[in-house]
Amino acid sequence: MTESRTRTDTTLEDNVAHEEVVHERPADGATAVAPAVQVPPRRDRVRWGPVWAGLIVAVPTFLLLQVATLALGWWDVGPGDTGNNADWFSGINGLIALFLGGLTAGASAVWRGFSDGLLHGILVWALSVVSIVFLTLFGGGALLGSLAGVVTDVTSIQQANLPDVAAGQAADVATSSASWAALGLGLGIVAASIGGVLGAKMWPSRTDAERQRVAA
């Protein structure tokens, strides 16, 4: 019985050795299989580095465009002017800045794709809105457009002791400003999302680059 078990073990060892040789040296004419690409696992879908980069691009770009259009005299800020022209320029400047911020975030992220670019663009928009509100509360509302005006109008109405008629008129103005600000926020998230999606398609992703390197 011991001799039979010894022969069985010897036969198994020979088969394993034979299989190892076959795997190491494929037969003539057989196609060698390329090694699998080692791609790091995706722990999450958000890369905060590109999001902060997009914010750093968006906010200074917006401030630069605001100052430039104001310096060129394109804003209606004189006596008797309604200021509608300034609101339009602020909205356009915000859309351009958010588009460039989303484009930066999507282009600098490791993971590419429609959903990744869309998500990073939305996050750039969200952080930009928070930054605008923060700057408004610290006295930077003069250059930040209609959203900043809504924040300051609501605060002044709550703090001022106005007659009922004047308070009602001020509330109507704040409501109208809030409507335009809501429209601007909606267009802003669209602009940032489009920028993020286009940025994600600008260069090949890390996975595609690894596959091309292995194929070469």
Is 153 a residue whose pLDDT tops 70?
A: no
Q: pLDDT at position 29, please? A: 54
Per-residue pLDDT tens digits for 51-62 = 999 999 999 999
**Taking residues 29-46, what's their average pLDDT?**
57
The packing angle between helices 164-200 and 145-159, to 10°, is 150
Q: pLDDT at position 112, please? A: 78
Q: Where are the domains of the chain?
A: 48-215
Nearest in space to 190 (alpha carbons), one of 99, 66, 117: 99
Q: pLDDT at position 209, please? A: 57
Percent above pLDDT 90 for the chain: 25
Is 154 a residue whose pLDDT tops 50?
A: no
The rounded Cα 102 to chain-centroid distance in angstroms is 5
CA dist list (Å): 84 to 4, 12, 81, 176? 99, 87, 8, 12
Is 9 a residue whose pLDDT tops 60?
A: no
Per-residue pLDDT tens digits for 95-144 = 999 999 999 999 998 877 888 999 999 999 999 989 888 877 776 555 55
CB 107 within 8 Å of CB 202: yes
Length in residues, the chain: 216
Q: pLDDT at position 174, please? A: 67
Torsion of CA 191, 181, 92, 98, to 10 degrees: -30
**Taking residues 179-206, what's their average pLDDT?**
86
Q: pLDDT at position 86, please? A: 75
**DSSP SS3 for 120:** helix
Q: How many CB atoms are closer than 10 A to CB 126?
A: 14
pTM over 0.95: no
Is 194 a residue whose pLDDT tops 90?
A: yes
CB 123 within 8 Å of CB 45: no
Is 40 a residue whose pLDDT tops 70?
A: no
Q: Which residue has the higher pLDDT, 211 or 97?
A: 97
Q: pLDDT at position 157, please? A: 44
Provide the mean pLDDT of the chain.
72
What's the rounded Cα separation, in Å, for the pair 187 and 91?
9
What's the rounded Cα separation, in Å, for the pair 147 and 145?
6
**Taking residues 28-46, what's their average pLDDT?**
56
